[in-house]
Amino acid sequence: MYRYTLEPYKSMKMKFHCPNCHRKTFTRYIDLETQEYINEFVGRCDREIKCGYHYKPKDYFLDNNFDYKPLTKKHIKTKATKATYIKKEFLIQSIKNNYNNNFITFLIKLFGKTATKSLQQKYLIGSSKYWPSANIFWQMDIKNRIRTGKIMLYNKETGKRIKKPFNHIFWVHKTQAIIKTLTTETFNLQQCLFGEHLLKTNPTQTIGLVESEKTAIISSIFYPKLIWLATGGLNNLSYEKTKVLENRKIILFPDLNAFDKWQEISNKLSSKIDIKIYDQLESLAGSQEREKGYDIADYFLNEYIKHL
């Protein structure tokens, strides 16, 4: 076990400018024993696809002929094995109160109020006052236990995430309302797939697995033959999260520019679960689509809007 980790951050103010793309999306590695930065260039950029800068401590030490030291025993902590869950009343309240939810407004504009209400109930789309007009993508597992919720802010006209002056993403379990309810000092987060609670509706239905929650929600309108779930992030595709899908057929729909990474992971997972990867977007994509990082929902929407 090593003593170097990416610095935990509570807000974008703690981020640094990336040495490669110069955006304020850079997290530095720290030494857990000294609580100091290793070097101003040692860290990872959040823009994994468009930038990809990641200078690891191990590489830095090798480049400079330094020893890569392990963590001493006094700093090794035993992780709790049990997950912490959030009370359902928070989810219920968030769905009941609309708060002029921008994401809901966007869906209504596309699909109408009836279809949107169905989507909201199906995928547990809540509203949050953390930012005006923000939404919550709740993570409820197959046993109906609430793991957390991702608070996000979208543009109600375009349906795009608001990333300026900072990327509007926060977690329900980090809000004061949830912290006050905890009986332990820390919240032990163990995420699950977004939409996992839907698995009980049809035990044999094929799964469509995508990266973002928005993509899963929109894709479910255009291709309801699949149960659409989301990993919630590029790096969240793992056996730990997908083992709940054992005995199911799974089709991966990676975003453009993420195909190689997800294919590599799916090759490893295929020995344990029935998983295949959809590759037609790779052959259809032009340079503009790649630059924008299109996903399957973008293609669905483009074709849909053409016929409005």
**Mean pLDDT in residue range 97-120:** 95
Mean pLDDT across 107-126: 96
pLDDT at 8: 79
Cβ atoms 91, 149 nearer than 8 A? yes
Pick the range with the lowest mean pLDDT from 43-47, 57-61, 101-105, 159-163: 57-61
What pLDDT score was predicted for residue 73?
55
Read off the pLDDT of residues 137-146 as tens digits, 9 standing for 90 and up: 999 999 999 9
| Residue 42 Ramachandran class (φ > 0 left, ψ -120 to 50 alpha, else beta) | beta
What average pLDDT does this structure show over 185-202? 91
Name every residue whose Cβ is closer than 8 Å to that of residue 135 and which is 6 or more positions away in sequence.
101, 102, 103, 104, 125, 126, 127, 128, 151, 152, 153, 154
Within a 10 A sphere around the Cβ of 147, how many other Cβ atoms? Answer: 21
Q: Give the whole-angstrom CA distance, residue 29 versus residue 156.
A: 36
Whole-number pLDDT of residue 303 = 76
Q: Are 119 and 112 in contact (CB under 8 A)?
A: no
What torsion do the CA atoms of 109, 115, 117, 121 make, to the nearest 10 degrees?
-130
Q: What is the pTM of this model?
A: 0.77
